[in-house]
Amino acid sequence: MVTKTNMTDQMGQVIVDFTTIAIQTGGWMEMDRLYLYNRLKTMSGYSGELSQPVHAINANEAPELAAQLTECYFQQSKQDQVSEVEWKKKLVDFLDLLTPPTSVVNALFAKYYAKSPKEATDYFYQLNKITGTIQKVGELIDEPLFDKAQFKACIVPDGAMEKAFDADYRFDMEGSCGATTEEIHTNRRMIRMNLQGESYGFHYLSDEILAEEFTVIAEKEQSLSLHAKLSHLGRLVELFPHYFVATNNGNNQERVGDQYRGASDPLPIYQASTKFQCKLPFFPEVAVTALNWPVPVLRIQATNQHALLKTAEYVIKALQQGEQIGDANNSLHLATASKDVLLLARKSDSGHELYVAFHSEKTLTEVQALGAFGILVMPNASIADHKRFIQQLNGTFHTF
């Protein structure tokens, strides 16, 4: 933070550097530099000269520069005691000035997307980091875990569920500023999307657990059928082939809001060993494999996405209704009734993959986590560690 003794010496350069980053993010042009200088001087209370040279600056320094501007403001206003909420509101005011408006962000996203989907998401992700929207960068846990308590504690820290599913990402919250530090997000922007005629918004999460973790949330709340959810997942992995996309929870009929989640991390479920393969006479071009996992999980693979989604819908409905599917050699059924599923889709080198995890309320109670992540994300340890972990949990959950 800037202190009273060095504030005069440093703040001029802070304002110059912050302005340079604001221009770099795309919301302002070089001709706006003088305007931004004066805005920042007024907002921070700094009255000194701005004779410092313009030089190259790492855009990732923006949150720290905003914190220094915030410190300057409260020192100049001679406020000795400042609440966390007051501090955060002022900080976000500076970061909001740095962040391009939604229309500009969406236009730049579309421009980058025309080159490649990854260039577009890289742009938006870096913008969220520069503007302080992403406060915790996610990564997979890299230590082996051997009991459910550790699994729950490490995959989902205390309070993560509540933060992950709060109202901050709703359409009507864009640009709003609430009364608590968790609700202050006037600088958060969303990418507007159209999924089969429905309006959706794409956000990166503020507190990531996995790398580049995002949510896709609908503008209008309504119930979705299994068919609609499968179709949406298929479309989302086509739009973002470098990400996996999962449903948020397991009910076949649920509110659309906060509907889909995804990230870039490779998941250990991809390497799960085969329990057995099931051949479906009506879908010979689709591979259906039961996996060794603590809960019943199917991996459905096909080179044609339409065939994969059609097969998945048939298999899920049949198993949920207690039917037995497959041929005389390998048939498939649920040993315990399970009406809920978690779906995770991705593109692989060989085509399309869909993971279907059947669960019950007991499952989600014993292994709580972020929607599909709680069941399909395991610690990023060795395969042997995964097997030992699964062996300890087997028998706790229903199986095929």
Strand, helix or coil for residue 348 = strand
What pLDDT score does 257 carry? Answer: 47
Per the listing, tokens 């995890």 go with 357
How is residue 56 written in tokens?
Answer: 């190259």
What pLDDT score does 103 carry? Answer: 94
User: Which tops the pLDDT comparison, 161 or 289?
Assistant: 289
Is this model's pTM higher than 0.95 or not? no
Average pLDDT, the chain: 77
346-379 pLDDT tens trace: 999 889 999 998 865 544 444 433 344 555 654 3
Which range of 51-55, 103-107, 142-146 scores highest in mean pLDDT? It is 103-107
User: Band of the pLDDT at 175, cuts 50, 70, 90?
Assistant: confident
For the chain, give every domain's residue range.
Answer: 7-98, 148-393
Can you tell me the mean pLDDT for 90-112? 93
What pLDDT score does 40 carry? Answer: 95
User: Residue 89 corresponds to which amino acid?
Assistant: K
- In the chain, % helix, strand, coil (3-state, to 5) comes to 40, 15, 40
Would you give the distance in Å from CA 323 to the centre of its chain? Answer: 35
Distance CA 395, CA 295 (A): 9
Residue percentage of the chain with pLDDT more than 90: 39
Can you tell me the mean pLDDT for 154-165? 38
